[in-house]
Structure 1
Amino acid sequence: MTLTLEQAQAMIAAATAKAKELNVKMNIAVVDAGANLTAFVRMDGAWLGSVDISIKKAKTARFFDMPTGEIGKISQPGGSLYNIEHSNNGLITFPGGIPIKAANGEIIGAIGVSGDSVENDHTVASAGLEAYK
């Protein structure tokens, strides 16, 4: 099973709509099962620094097949994954990246969002994910 461009674009559209509803400007990235960028949007006025962060959130969620916020919990000082963010040419370990699972449970990609609070980043990513489901 693979993530199609059409599915990725639908996720981007849903996430963008949620960002507009929240009145925030976001960078939104979708990667496939190989963590390759499939679709991306930078909303007008979104932070330039968040372009890279959104892509890295999506890649991080796919590399470890879990939401980036969960990785953040176990990568704190004393945690089993402390300093993991320095691997893989840089990871992001705070909320806003979520794996995409097919109906059979297979991970087929991930969405990553950055541009506002981590809570809003996660909310917008979740809205994008719902468009896939």
Structure 2
Amino acid sequence: MDNRAIHLIMFTLSAILSLAIKLNREVYIGINGGLDVLLGLVMSYLYIVILVSGYVTFAHSVTNRKLSNCIISITCGALLWEIHQAFIPEMYFDWKDMVATLMAFTALMLIQHYKPVGNSEHGSVAIGKG
């Protein structure tokens, strides 16, 4: 399975899961403290996965360098947004969201390392041989 297929599956499943959580989160809040934390963390994790997977899925051409830069940029943006919330009275800073963001970063970088999007010679998406 090539990298685009992996990211298409991740994009689809993450989008469906985040939509399901967003629509039903109020039903599950207050049942269990651990569940409340998990529901909050999953959204931060899925945010990064959806953006990066969407980029790989829908971009015309993706190179390993572009994808690495994309993962780093989106992660930095999400972390800066979380830090920014600490300075806005109406917002809520949660260090656990930062941990979830870093976990998504780690998972995506591992996928990138073990299943790169293309070869460095051509700078385009690898075509599966088989």
Asked if these proteins are the same fold (TM beyond 0.5), I'd say no
Compute the TM-score of the two structures, normalised by the length of structure 2: 0.29
Choose between structure 1 and 2: higher strand proportion: 1
Compute the TM-score of the two structures, normalised by the length of structure 1: 0.28
**Higher gyration radius (CA):** 2
Choose between structure 1 and 2: higher helix proportion: 2
